[in-house]
Amino acid sequence: MLAFVEHALTLLELGLGDYDAALASSTERRADMPLLVVTEPNVVEAAVRCGAHELALEATDALRAHVAPRRSALGLGLLARCRALVDPTPSADLAYREAVAQLEASAGTLELARARLLYGEWLRRSRRRIDARAQLRAAAEAFTTMGARTFAARAELELAATGERARRRSVDTRNDLTPQEAQIARLAARGSTNAEIGSYLFLSKSTVDYHLRKVFRKLSITSRRELVDAQGPHGRGPWLVPAAQEVAV
């Protein structure tokens, strides 16, 4: 049961984009989880984002050995997604396409949306913005429909980074943080420097500083100490707003 609790925490941290925390929770009770198809894809994603490439390759190999005799659409799709994540070459595109195709044929609705999100992120970083928008829109819509708000916010953040026009804010919502601002606020509250936040989110240090100043203004605070206090007792912050108020999809 504790292994499944750690799995739930891993999903939460992946949705929030806190990959260090996701890596810690995904490996905490990894040996106790009987379903490698559940654990290893999360380990791979968190490890790749944290630069732990040997661990990512090890987890991919473990998943491959688990999937080989079963060859279910879900298992093959998750394996293809992991292969794409650990592949630093343009051929990752084929693996992402395979992941989406296999997961479309499975019952893994959440995993399909996550594959589209990861593929969209990869396409954007490959400067294929139009292709990225199609994957990210589909991911954002799926996450919103199933109520996976942290993943929806992550997808919408990426969608906005492709140049998708943001929804015009009303007077009632103009002080809400955008998904990017909320993510920066959470990381800053946890002690990450602007340079570290920029590394996590693929932003320059000056861009992080700009967004952090906007966060302070919207929350009516002036320091990181106050940002920590603004998180509240559960450490998540009052920053997640309904997806429809964040970025139009």
Show the 3-state SS of 21-87. Answer: HHHHHHHHCHHHCCCHHHHHHHHHHHHHHHCCHHHHHHHHHHHHHHHCCCCCHHHHHHHHHHHHHHC
Q: For 242, phi and psi rounded to 5 degrees?
A: -55, 140
We find that the CATH architecture of domain 179-245 is Orthogonal Bundle (1.10)
Query: Looking at residue 165, what is its pLDDT?
Result: 55
How many Cα neighbours within 13 Å face the side chain of 28? Answer: 17
Q: And the tokens for 124?
A: 């954007």
pLDDT at 99: 96
- Chain centroid to Cα 60, Å, comes to 19
Model pLDDT, residue 244: 35
Structure confidence at residue 52 (pLDDT):
94
Please give the average pLDDT of every successive group of 10 residues along the chain, which has 249 residues. 81 88 84 74 94 94 90 93 96 96 90 96 93 93 89 89 60 60 84 85 80 83 80 49 34
Q: Per-domain residue ranges for the chain?
A: 2-157, 179-245
H runs (alpha helix) in the chain: 2-16, 19-28, 36-50, 53-67, 73-86, 92-104, 109-125, 129-146, 149-161, 179-189, 194-201, 205-219, 224-230
- Interacting residues of 4 by C-beta distance below 8 A, sequence separation 6+: 33
Burial of 50 (0-12, 13-18, 19+ CB in 10 A): middle
Instruction: Produce one character per residue of 163-195: b if its CB has 16 or more CB atoms within 10 Å, e if not.
Output: ebeeeeeeeeeeebbbbbbbbbbbbbbbebebe
Q: In sequence order, which residues have a C-beta less than 8 Å from that of residue 201 and are 6 or more positions away?
A: 17, 180, 183, 184, 187, 208
Q: What is the CATH number of domain 2-157?
A: 1.25.40
CA pair distance 217, 243, nearest whole angstrom: 22
> Which one-letter amino acid corresponds to residue 162?
T
Reduced to 3 states (helix: H, G, I; strand: E, B; else coil), residue 163 is coil
